[in-house]
Structure 1
Amino acid sequence: MIQQNVSILAQLQTFLTQISPQDYSRPLPLLQAQPIGRQVRHCLEFYICFLESISKPNALLSYDKRKRDLRLETILEEAQAQVLFLQKQLQKQQIPLVELILESDAPQGKMRLVSSTERELLYLLEHTVHHLAILRLSAQCYFPYIEFAGDFGVAYATQKNEAESNASKSNC
């Protein structure tokens, strides 16, 4: 699961190397006048929150209470540097496969749930893919100079389903 997260961050980094600093921080109507950098900041902060939480004994994991760093939203170079840092952290750390307590501010009130590092790595992966899809749609609308791999922002289950569907069609 760690390598899949490193790979999805590499896809994000490829995107970041293509977008201009001005476009990265430009408010877009499609994103309710928010910059594309807000989507990036959001993803990066979830990884930061996860890594900080598992580095503390008996720590509570709360994505809702994560630190917000607006530099990641507005300064392209900061986001690029953070992606590289997170990839290195994921690769070098021995991520313990332990139980975590996840805290969330749900509509019905604060909730505490049992989770695990493996489950949260899967969540981070799927969460990031979802936001890559938003990045892709936004960039295709406003920044047609950016090129995307076919699987950028496409969920792994969708990729698998499409591959199986195409394979069964070719067997007819």
Structure 2
Amino acid sequence: MATDAEAAEFLLDRGADRVEHPGGTLLSHSRRVHAMLGAWGARPDLRFAGLCHAFYGTDGFGTALGDPGRRGELAEVVGTEAERLVYMYASCDRRRSYPHLASPDGPFTDRFTGTVLCPPRADRRDFAELTVANELDVLTASAELRAAHGDALGELFTTWRPLLSTSAGRAVQDFRA
């Protein structure tokens, strides 16, 4: 498995420093998400997932650095567990999955395949933590996006509170204050 610097270099090689994103570039955003997860005490695989979360694009950010049909390329760099979390994050059909994430049997729809899954609680926790870190960074970087989506995301993340670490839950509370 690569170091944080090697994983960031991999993203750099894929052009993450040339992709515009709220708060600068995709690379700078990804580094902030990685750092936020680290500050919250996330384990290494989740921090790597935070660094690479948009590698395959997302339901809310269409630019992809890699092909979800070639998942082994990212797995070689960050390991299979971190890549699995990146794929889960990227594959999420937000409209169908977000409202049910905190439900133990809630459906999670893969936007690439259309498959409906029921992820275990540990995966739901990781997904929620990563999503909160990502969105809080975006909303902090863009007053326009915060005005448009901040209240709705704050309410949603409050429903996810049972899935969040104490630190992430506190960050959501602080954001809503």
TM-score by length of 2: 0.32
Structure (1 or 2) with the larger CA radius of gyration: 1
Greater strand proportion? 1
TM-score normalized with structure 1 length:
0.32
